[in-house]
Structure 1
Amino acid sequence: RTIIFRKLKGLEDAIGMTIVDPIRDEKGWAFRDPSGKIPPGAPFESTDPVNGFQFLSEAYSATDPDYDERVTVPVLWDKKTHRIVNNCEDDICRMFNNVFNDFARNRDLDFFPKEIEADHAKLSSFLHDNVNNGVYRAGFATRQRPYEIACRRVFEALDQLEERLSKNRYLFGNRIVEADWRLFCTLVRFDVVYYGHFKCNLFRIIDYPNLQGYLMDLFQQPGIADTVNFDHIKRHYYMTHTQINPTRIVPIGPVLDLTKPHGREKK
């Protein structure tokens, strides 16, 4: 979502971006060539143009030498103070929308409109609990019953969203808000990794006419295709979660075409 907000708000000149290797090994997120040419564990040159860090954990240690919690992405790094400003995706998206608006090329884009603030927050919470995190609860379940409960909860939520999107082009009518991009980030990964890797396999997104059209509609928004890398997505999940996929074999499919006409403009 942060990459999407940076792109849509037009903040590329104000906020640089360095992509970590999608494969996270026992040493954590690495500033390693993300093309996959260098295998994890092999010596590598840092791709961090700011500090020359090899691992993201170094940025956390530079910010707080006593930090001993999880090292997560994304992080917003301040070049002047040489520290992490924020590592919460929700917070960074709001900062890009509001705090950095004076530096944005597209200042009129507001993904957190005040007039729907309460309803928007409620829906975003629903998406977070039942969809964004829901697939992870199913995927990382280690017992049958919790897996089934989590998986069915995901599809109950998708059924509700399919019905909602049968009446509106986007979640709140004809305007795209933060909740749309929150949902998009799970939908665009669903058929590629969550369906197989996380065993959320009652249905694919392509089996839902409205959700699939909605996904294609958002994917075709200017600049969005540039933010989606299916190779990175698949290599991250299938090669990082060895407790789920110990062979680390990455499937060659499915092949998705999200560029076809979607017809959502008629909603």
Structure 2
Amino acid sequence: MAGRKEAALPRKAYERELLRLQTELVRLQEWVRAEGARLVVVFEGRDAAGKGGTIKRVAEHLNPRVARIAALPRPTERERTQWYFQRYVEHLPAAGEIVLFDRSWYNRAGVERVMGFCTKEEHQLFLRQCPIFERMLVEDGVLLRKYWFSVSDTEQQERFRRRLQDPLRRWKLSPMDLESITRWEAYSRAKDEMLVHTDIREAPWFVVESDDKRRARLNMIAHLLSTVPYHDVPPPVLKLPDRPAPTGYLRTPRDLQNYVPDHTASL
């Protein structure tokens, strides 16, 4: 089913607004650090929906000691025996931290459900426990934001085609991604069922139309900023000290060290 087609957002307008929003994200980061807040942002959606590119723009100018990306690999054999949410709890933020989940516990409601990686009973248990789990997080003071990136089937197919032809992005395309083409309706049904159970008042879902990646990135970041009551935190007053007078130090001779060859000399 084709998505709504909008005029492409001009690159200059996109870059100008992106820079403004990223500046606001830095202000948000400083507020989180100063106030000891805990912010969790969940990025979910179909394959090739633009989650990764948006996360990259969100984190681009943030301090990695404050804001980190959690992109968990497949669970180990030991993790498979744990309570399902347990390995995600380990990645939740402490005071003054932001965690961006590049996919999250919602794997069970999507790919695991559709691909048969979990049982029907495990899936149903997840749908019952997830709202309770998220209410516990919010009740404890965690700022939880959940975004679903929606892409049309035609746009997804085109993005897969471009990835297949681009050696720099071919690694993004996996057999699992290609399976999502033939299981489009199954993923749609799984997503609808997930939203029915987990779109709760304490932690609602927000859908991001992402056929236009530029619009999707700006819209998502702007919305995130609008939902957090951050304010300016005065930065510490810093002053560059005067450089002290030399005391006779001599640099190590160049021939005693290994230097990287000047590749640029051949350009």
Query: Could you say whether these structures have the same fold, taking a TM-score greater than 0.5 normalized by the shorter chain as the test?
Result: no
Instruction: Specify which structure has the higher proportion of strand.
Output: 2
TM-score (norm 1): 0.34
Q: Which has the larger radius of gyration?
A: 2
Higher relative contact order (CA 8 A, sep 6+): 2
TM-score if structure 2 supplies the norm length? Answer: 0.34
